[in-house]
Amino acid sequence: MQQLALFDLDNTLLPIDSDVSWANFLVDIKVVNADWYSKRNDYFYAQYCAGTLNIAEFLDFQLAPLAQHPRAQLLTWREQFIQEVIRPNLHPNAKALVQQHQDSGALCAIVTATNAFITGPIAREFGLQHLIATEVETDADGNFTGRPHGLPSFREGKVTRVNQWLAQQGLGLSDFSSSLFYSDSFNDLPLLAAVTDPIAVNPDQRLRAHAISAGWPVLALFDRTATTDD
């Protein structure tokens, strides 16, 4: 039987948060009001870290700039973002971890709350075909409306979205010899609890405590030599 390997993205495969970094990038290139946007960005990130994020309120904020500019301009900015922000943060240990599972024949996917417009090219940087991310609604002309499409891939939504993705392939979690999910965040506890092999990667304080209590592996992926505490 095949193995399933799922990866959170921000602060898991990347040593940064791509959502936060994208917002900071928009500030840097003067697309948004720097003072207001930075404060709101910090406000939502603090909520996320505290486990109290209102995902609908956050997506109203985070997706709004996508609706204010034509797709061609957004694609230009996104390529600049990938080049200047993401590629310098592609850590060899993270790429090796993904490659290890791909080489073993596992079905691999990134599962992230960050929207698919930002994370699509990041998944490709890791050589991953499958991405489960928060989708963004488009109008008849293909431009973004600033609203999410479907269920956001956040907290319990990650479990639902993974199950939907597998069902489209005629599969379920029980069809795999083992299912792994790598994550840094206590917000991902629902999906971590749903797989056979949850792995805490660069975990926040609450996830570290939970993982140690539950006997889950804890992986320090961005050390010079990645180590695991069992």
pLDDT range class, residue 220, cuts 50, 70, 90 = very high
Antiparallel, parallel or unpaired: β 107-115 and 3-7: parallel
Region of 198 (left: φ > 0; alpha: ψ -120 to 50; beta: rest) is beta
Contact between 124 and 133 (Cβ < 8 Å)? no
Whether residue 10 lies in the annotated active site: yes
Which pTM does this prediction carry?
0.94
Say what the pLDDT of residue 8 is: 98
Say what percent of the chain tops pLDDT 70: 97
Give just the sign of the alpha carbon dihedral 199, 165, 145, 60.
negative
Would you state the pLDDT for residue 223? 75
Q: Are 229 and 194 in contact (CB under 8 A)?
A: no
Please enumerate in sequence order all residues whose Cβ is within 8 A of that of 211, keeping only pairs 6 or more positions apart, or say none. Answer: 198, 200, 203, 217, 218
Helix (H) or strand (E) holding 110: strand 107-115
| Band of residue 229 on the pLDDT scale cut at 50, 70, 90 | low
204 catalytic, yes or no?
Answer: no
Tens-place pLDDT, residues 14-30: 999 999 999 999 999 99
d(CA 68, CA 8): 28
224 has pLDDT over 70: no
- The pLDDT value recorded for residue 34 is 87
According to CATH, the topology of domain 3-229 is: Rossmann fold (3.40.50)
Give yes or no for a contact between 210 and 82, defined as CB atoms under 8 angstroms apart: no
pLDDT at 207: 97
Which pLDDT tens digit goes with each residue over 159-181? 999 999 999 999 999 999 999 99
Domain locations along the chain: 3-229
Say which range, 56-65, 83-92, 119-128, has the weakest mean pLDDT. Answer: 56-65
**Which listed residue (10, 17, 184, 204) is catalytic?**
10
CA 13-17-22 angle, to 5 degrees, is 125
What mean pLDDT is predicted for residues 138-153?
95
pLDDT per position as a tens digit, 70-112: 999 999 999 999 999 999 999 999 999 999 999 999 999 999 9
Decide if 211 contacts 188 (C-beta within 8 A). no
| Active-site hit among 8, 17, 184, 204 | 8
